[in-house]
Amino acid sequence: MKAKGYLIPTLLALSLHVVVVLLLAESWFDHREERKIQPRHVQATIVDLKSIKSKPDAKAAQSRAKQKAEAERQQQAAQRKIAEAERKKKLAEQRKQQAEAKQQKLAREQKQRDKQRKQEQAKQQAEKQKQELARKKKAAEEKRRQEAEQKRKQALAEKKKAEERKRQQELARKKKAEEERKRKETEARRLAEEKRKAEQKRKAEEARKQEALAAKKAREAALEAAMAAEEESLEEELYREQAMSYMGYVRDLITSKWRRSPNARNGMLVEVKVRLFPTGEVDDAVVSRASGDSRFDRDAVQAVMRVGRFEKLKQLDPIAFDAHWREFTLAFRPEDLRR
């Protein structure tokens, strides 16, 4: 396309140069050989022959006219050369301007491409950062889940260890009791052998000892059962106290998120049943006992949902959490918040 655009101006310039060269060659040949000029039109003029002084004067005038015409022709040729030079200069300037415009266009296009490339790089960097944040968030959540699972397993292991210690103690006690029983039986047989003559008395004494031993065993069994029940009760009480230690935290957190309805009045009561995940995150919150004012009830439910997660409950023992915080009921009153 560019070559075809320059072809026509080049041919015109070449033709013009050929014409100028021909004109100059013609002027050069005129100095060497006089040519006869045949005018195309004959113009007749009436003159007075008397006014013509002589024939030589007419020839001189004709020569001067011819020289004048030749000078004018050369001047016109020079003017054409100047015009052609001006045209070439303008054409060169136009080409230069076109080249500069093309260069500027290429620079603008390159700048636009650079800008688009930078925008694309920035977009890719932002996407990469977003993916990295998502990965870190997922890793943090997985770490929290593993920590919670580790705590649960640790608590279960501790419980199993305690049960194993208790079982071993019970076996040791039974073994000791069995050894004691065997010793006593041996002693009883020895005494029976030594006191053969007092068999009736020995039998009565033996019966009394057996009754005493049975009573002792019964007392020991009852004592052990009472101790086991007391230990279990103490463990449950410990879990309950541990769970109840978070009551103030839960109540204060929900109270901070509770936006009391303008319609709330003293004496109104709504109970909300709350379910939590082991991580402390709210699973669900529903009204278990309505107050009669739907807006008041809805505000109570929204207070729980706004909390979203009770972060400190993750520190609670899993057994205590399941027993007291997995599912619980809160009572909302305009004057306070109680469980």
Give the tens place of pLDDT for each residue, 178-232: 999 999 999 888 888 888 888 888 888 888 888 888 877 776 776 566 555 544 5
- The residue-averaged pLDDT of 313-328 equals 85
Query: Residue 87: what pLDDT?
Result: 93
Asked whether residue 302 carries a pLDDT value surpassing 90, the answer given is yes
Report DSSP state, residue 276. E
Asked whether residue 294 carries a pLDDT value surpassing 70, the answer given is yes
Q: How far apart are CA 248 and CA 254, in angstroms?
A: 10
Q: How many CB atoms lie within 10 A of CB 78?
A: 11
Task: List pLDDT tens digits, range 159-169.
Answer: 999 999 999 99
Secondary structure of 49-93 as H, E, C letters: HHHCCCHHHHHHHHHHHHHHHHHHHHHHHHHHHHHHHHHHHHHHH
pTM of the shown model: 0.33
In 3-state terms, what secondary structure has residue 16?
helix
Higher pLDDT, 338 or 316: 316
CA-to-CA separations, 186 to 133, 191, 300, 324, in angstroms, rounded: 78, 9, 75, 55
- The residue-averaged pLDDT of 55-66 equals 79
Considering the chain, what is the average pLDDT of its residues? 82
- The residue-averaged pLDDT of 27-32 equals 54
Give me the percent of the chain exceeding a pLDDT of 70. 81
Q: In which element (H, E) is residue 241 found?
A: helix 199-244
